[in-house]
């Protein structure tokens, strides 16, 4: 690996305060040219806040930032990009109704005279895609592509600025194994060019594999910077959480009971899910595995009524459920935690209380259309405490919380509807190791209460550690079922490739 001592970026004594919370408290970060520098810490540790101070999204309250030895203070992301600092955000923020090349060159369209040149834009996009090995048609509308392809477009856009420093915030959270390999090839190519890469991820194996150096943050403070080769995974976890974390998963103490949910011959109208049948029991955690585009998410969304079913029946406790809409599904005792928090989970400009009670307004009716402020506050506070959500107060806008804390608010929202069946799509995506354990514990507690939990995850160890049984999807069909106690990752992967 290139250990060139040439310092590209230096952040010194960075302080950032929000009302009621000190998000950054004198943080230092030094990134050398031609290296990959991992930035690690639990959700709420301040990683994204630090990067937003670099990128001009937030104004720092104190400290200095030097780029190539020159002090900089970017007022906005446009200024940062023009000076060679790019960021690939975890939560994609794209113009979904526009095509790929519009998104690539937004704000800097190539021109012929006074007019935007579609040809120049197409050619420039293809040049970047060819260089990176990205196989996407520049004229494709963004909303028609899977999250993984949209992520690759975002990475290509960052590269197109000829950036000196590129920040990757949880870049693999929605990528398949093959796409992760492709991303690592791109990162290695950028490192060889002399770029400084800042890599934020909770996936330990990735960090050890891709990084030259690792900086660890905790509670808004710098804790340590070490060479990646000098840190074991146990060291990283101990520095991140401030304690030893011996067990990754809580013990399974639930005992599944009688069959509670039956799904028979489920096929999608506008997706490739076909003829999926399975049963789930009371007090059971049922996993749904499969490769990207295997139909896992579509199965959950079809059950919940936000995707149109072509055929199929759903039976709960022996009674048919039509579930033609999300409202009807909630009434029938179903809840769905979606994969993409920002796009389909949170109401970003609303506060935590509003985000918590939005699906259970009937609980808070006082008289007529009026809602009880007192009961809203009590329910919201109960789940802030129960989920150990880090927030100054209930009035805080949810978008200002870290990803893991946003996830906790959404889970609290659904638990308030008192569902019998919880459908969880990537419940720990982009969440740190400490918060993951809390969510696994919560899932286990729900199963102990007799709830039925169906959980989609791309992380095989998570499914094996959390679930009782695992259904494996492949090419829109159910490829098989395995017992989590007696299966292997190899068996699951073999089934996942069956119809792919």
CATH number for 407: 3.40.50.300
Q: Examine residue 251 and state whether it is found in any structural domain, yes or no.
A: no
Domain that holds residue 116: 7-241
Q: Examine residue 1 and state whether it is found in any structural domain, yes or no.
A: no
Same domain, 196 and 288: no
Q: Examine residue 234 and state whether it is found in any structural domain, yes or no.
A: yes
**pLDDT at position 227, please?**
95
**Residue finishing a domain among 214, 241, 268:** 241
Rounded CA separation 210/318 (Å)? 51
Same domain, 133 and 34: yes
pLDDT in tens, 237-263: 788 877 665 678 899 999 999 999 999
Burial state string for 275-294 with b = 16 or more CB within 10 A and e = fewer than 16: ebebebbbbbbbbbbbbbbb
Same domain, 402 and 339: yes
CA 195 to centroid of chain Cα atoms:
25
Tokens representing residue 458 in the block? 């791309």
- Tokens 């520049």 found at: 138
**pLDDT at position 401, please?**
83
The total number of structural domains that make up the chain? 2
Same domain, 191 and 290: no
**pLDDT at position 343, please?**
60
Element (H, E) at 336: strand 334-337
Burial state string for 21-31 with b = 16 or more CB within 10 A and e = fewer than 16: eebbbebebbb
Pairing of strands 469-474, 477-483: antiparallel
**pLDDT at position 244, please?**
60
Strand residues in 127-258 grouped as ranges (E): 165-169, 196-200, 213-218, 221-227
- What are residue 199's DSSP bridge partners? 38, 168
Tokens representing residue 261 in the block? 């949910």
**pLDDT at position 253, please?**
92
Rounded CA separation 375/357 (Å)? 10
Same domain, 236 and 264: no
CA 33 to centroid of chain Cα atoms:
28
Same domain, 128 and 230: yes
Identify the sign of the CA torsion 38, 42, 43, 49: negative
CA 390 to centroid of chain Cα atoms:
18
Are 294 and 500 contacting, i.e. CB atoms less than 8 angstroms apart?
yes
Low-confidence ranges of the chain (pLDDT < 70): 1-5, 19-20, 43, 90-91, 173-174, 243-246, 340-344, 430, 500
Are 218 and 224 contacting, i.e. CB atoms less than 8 angstroms apart?
no
Helix, strand or coil for residue 105? Answer: helix
Q: Examine residue 266 and state whether it is found in any structural domain, yes or no.
A: yes
Same domain, 325 and 466: yes
**pLDDT at position 344, please?**
66
Q: Examine residue 374 and state whether it is found in any structural domain, yes or no.
A: yes
Pairing of strands 319-321, 309-316: antiparallel
Q: Examine residue 233 and state whether it is found in any structural domain, yes or no.
A: yes
**pLDDT at position 303, please?**
96
Q: Examine residue 119 and state whether it is found in any structural domain, yes or no.
A: yes
Q: Who's near 240: CB < 8 A, 6+ residues apart?
A: 40, 41, 42, 45, 216, 218, 223, 432, 433, 434
Same domain, 219 and 318: no
DSSP 141: B
Rounded CA separation 331/225 (Å)? 51
Q: Who's near 327: CB < 8 A, 6+ residues apart?
A: none
Rounded CA separation 173/426 (Å)? 9
**Residue finishing a domain among 241, 273, 299:** 241
- Cα atoms found within 13 Å of the Cα of residue 354, Cβ hemisphere only: 11
Rounded CA separation 180/223 (Å)? 28
**Residue finishing a domain among 193, 214, 241:** 241
Q: Examine residue 252 and state whether it is found in any structural domain, yes or no.
A: no
Same domain, 269 and 232: no
**pLDDT at position 416, please?**
87
**pLDDT at position 2, please?**
44
Q: What angle do CA 195, 201, 203 make, to 5 degrees?
A: 125
pTM of the model: 0.62
- Which of 358, 431, 364, 353 lies closest to 392 in space, CA to CA? 353
DSSP 453: E
Inter-residue long-range contacts of 373-379, CB under 8 Å, 24+ positions, other chains counted: 377/353, 379/416
Other Cβ atoms less than 10 A from the Cβ of 475: the count is 18
DSSP 1: -
Same domain, 284 and 221: no
Rounded alpha-carbon distances, angstroms, from residue 298 to 177, 276, 368, 498: 20, 11, 38, 18
Same domain, 64 and 116: yes
Helix and strand counts by DSSP (H, E) for the chain: 16, 22
The radius of gyration of the chain's CA atoms, rounded to the nearest angstrom, is 23
Rounded CA separation 84/330 (Å)? 48
Same domain, 237 and 264: no
Torsion of CA 239, 23, 401, 452, to 10 degrees: 30
**pLDDT at position 246, please?**
61
**pLDDT at position 341, please?**
63
């Amino acid at each position: 690996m290139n250990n060139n001592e040439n310092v590209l970026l230096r952040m010194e004594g960075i302080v950032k305060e929000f009302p009621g919370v000190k998000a950054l408290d004198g943080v230092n970060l030094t990134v050398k040219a031609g290296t990959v520098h991992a930035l690690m810490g639990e959700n709420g540790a301040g990683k994204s806040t630090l990067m937003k101070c670099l990128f001009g999204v937030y104004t720092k309250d104190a400290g200095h930032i030097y780029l190539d030895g020159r002090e900089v203070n970017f007022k906005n992301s446009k200024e940062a990009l023009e000076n060679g600092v790019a960021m690939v955000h975890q939560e994609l923020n794209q113009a979904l109704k526009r095509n790929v090349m519009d998104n690539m060159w937004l704000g800097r369209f190539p021109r012929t005279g006074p007019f935007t040149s579609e040809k120049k834009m197409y050619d420039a996009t293809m040049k970047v895609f060819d260089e990176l090995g990205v196989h996407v048609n520049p004229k494709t509308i963004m909303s028609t592509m899977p999250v993984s392809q949209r992520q690759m477009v975002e990475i290509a856009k960052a590269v197109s600025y000829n950036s000196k420093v590129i920040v990757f915030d949880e870049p693999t959270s929605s990528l398949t194994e093959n796409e992760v390999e492709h991303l690592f090839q791109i990162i290695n190519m950028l490192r060889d060019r002399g770029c400084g890469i800042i890599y934020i991820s909770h996936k330990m194996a990735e960090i050890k594999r891709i990084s030259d150096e690792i900086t660890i943050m905790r509670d808004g403070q710098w804790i340590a910077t070490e060479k990646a080769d000098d840190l074991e995974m146990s060291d990283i976890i101990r520095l991140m959480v401030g304690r030893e974390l011996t067990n990754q998963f809580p013990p399974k103490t639930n005992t599944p009971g009688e069959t509670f949910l039956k799904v028979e011959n489920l096929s999608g109208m506008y997706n490739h899910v076909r003829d999926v049948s399975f049963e789930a029991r009371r007090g059971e955690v049922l996993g749904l595995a499969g490769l990207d585009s295997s139909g896992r998410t579509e199965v959950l969304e079809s059950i919940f009524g936000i995707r149109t079913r072509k055929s199929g029946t759903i039976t709960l406790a022996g009674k048919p459920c039509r579930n033609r809409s999300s409202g009807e599904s909630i009434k029938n005792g179903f809840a769905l935690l979606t994969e993409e928090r920002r796009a389909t989970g949170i109401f970003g400009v609303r506060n935590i209380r509003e985000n918590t009670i939005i699906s259970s307004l009937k609980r808070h009716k006082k008289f007529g259309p009026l809602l009880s402020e007192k009961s809203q506050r009590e329910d919201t506070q109960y789940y802030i405490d129960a989920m150990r959500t880090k927030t100054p107060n209930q009035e805080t806008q949810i978008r200002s919380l870290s990803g893991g804390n946003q996830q906790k608010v959404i889970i609290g929202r659904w638990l308030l509807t008192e569902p019998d069946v919880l459908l969880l799509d990537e419940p720990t995506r982009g969440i740190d190791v400490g918060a993951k354990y809390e969510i696994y514990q919560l899932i286990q507690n729900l199963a102990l209460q007799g709830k039925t939990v169906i959980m989609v995850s791309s992380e095989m160890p998570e499914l094996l550690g959390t679930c009782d049984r695992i259904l494996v999807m492949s090419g829109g069909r159910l490829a098989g079922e395995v017992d989590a106690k007696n299966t292997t990752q190899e068996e699951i992967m073999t089934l996942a490739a069956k119809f792919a």
